[in-house]
A and B are shown apart, each in its own frame.
Chain A
Amino acid sequence: MAIVYQRSKGLADIETHYCPGCTHGIIHRLVAETLEELGVLGNTVGVAPVGCSVFAYDYFNCDMQEAAHGRAPAVATGIKRVLPDKVVFTYQGDGDLAAIGTGEITHAAMRGENITTVFVNNAIYGMTGGQMAPTTLVGQRATTAPLGRDKSHAGSPIRIAEMLATIDGAAYIERVTVTSPANVMRAKRAIKKAFELQIEGRGFTLIEVLSTCPTNWGLTPVKALEWLNENMIPVFPLGVYKDITKEA
């Protein structure tokens, strides 16, 4: 028998602290597989965020740098400008990227920084115990919205992929999810494409991945996947929002 699937060499040989069934782990694996397949593990610098993925710097088998909350795109900008031959990526949650770090990601896209961002949208602040995020759905319960997000004073969720796709400096923007093996394969293709475009020097690339937080959603890991499919995808439609390779 031949091995057809095994743990990527892009992942360090250590256990993660993620809750059981949290899809942060799947997304880590897709980034790790991509770096391994592109043969750039030894030439990559990742930037970790603040959020549940704060320890991402321990989990990838490439160089990593930790950034202050929301500031990963600014740190990545500095690294890429000093070391333009390195593959540079940020890995950020929705609290990190779409709340405190909205300015950094927007301006990194505007400048067309040649970096890749893996944006993990689980519609909540996972690490701090389930507070409402800018991406929380209207009616979705959070510790700071015990009756559900109320549109009349908290507004409705921000759509990062659509918003950043309006920026000229963005080269490739796609939203994917990891709720089934087929979706995992699609997400992998998207992440790989983003890294390939960075290596070609095409500009700013971002893949938004709809992800689960079983713990703070109060659901089993399997129910959390169903909840994401039924509730998040209608609000955050999957698809390619920007692709400069398809433009004239």
Chain B
Amino acid sequence: MAKGRVTFRQDWCKGCGLCVSVCPKKIIFLDESMTNRKGYHPATVKEMDKCIGCANCARMCPDSIITVERE
């Protein structure tokens, strides 16, 4: 499996959860320990080593704030 990495522009995240729902590795979650300046819990990934760089999350993000890299 290819290795991937995603980054979120968290201050623009609206916490909609569409990225969460399409990640095949189920590694994206809305970080309830923080609130961005818009008042939402932004999307984040903890176990980045499981990311395969498929870009499903970025394709579904209505706010185009996800960058995907792959090895």
Contacts and interface: CB of A to CB of B under 8 A. Distances in A.
Interface of A: 1-8, 11, 15-16, 18-26, 28-29, 180-181, 184-185, 220-222, 225
Contacts of A11: 64
Nearest to A222: B21
20 contacts: A1-B69, A1-B70, A2-B69, A2-B70, A4-B4, A5-B68, A15-B12, A18-B63, A20-B15, A20-B16, A21-B16, A25-B62, A26-B61, A26-B62, A28-B64, A181-B55, A185-B59, A221-B16, A221-B17, A222-B17
A6 B16 contact: no
A220 B63 contact: no
A3 B43 CA distance: 19
- For chain B, the bracket of interface size reads 20 to 34
A225 B18 contact: yes
B67 A18 contact: no
Question: Which of A11, A16, A25 has the most chain B CB within a 10 Å cutoff?
Answer: A25
B50 interface: no
Interface of B: 3-5, 12, 14-18, 21-22, 40, 53-56, 58-71
Nearest to B5: A1
Given A1-B70, A185-B59, A25 B64 contact: yes
A118 to B, nearest CB: 15
A136 B43 CA distance: 32
A20 B5 CA distance: 24
Given A21-B62, A222-B17, A6 B70 contact: no
Contacts of A5: 55, 58-59, 66-68
Contacts of B15: 20
A24 B67 CA distance: 19
A3 B71 CA distance: 9
B62 A23 contact: yes
Best-buried of B21, B55, B65 by chain A (most CB within 10 Å) = B21
A221 B5 contact: no
Nearest to B20: A222
Contacts of A20: 14-16, 40, 62
B63 A15 contact: yes
Given A16-B63, A21-B17, A1 B58 contact: no
B18 A4 contact: no
A88 B15 CA distance: 34
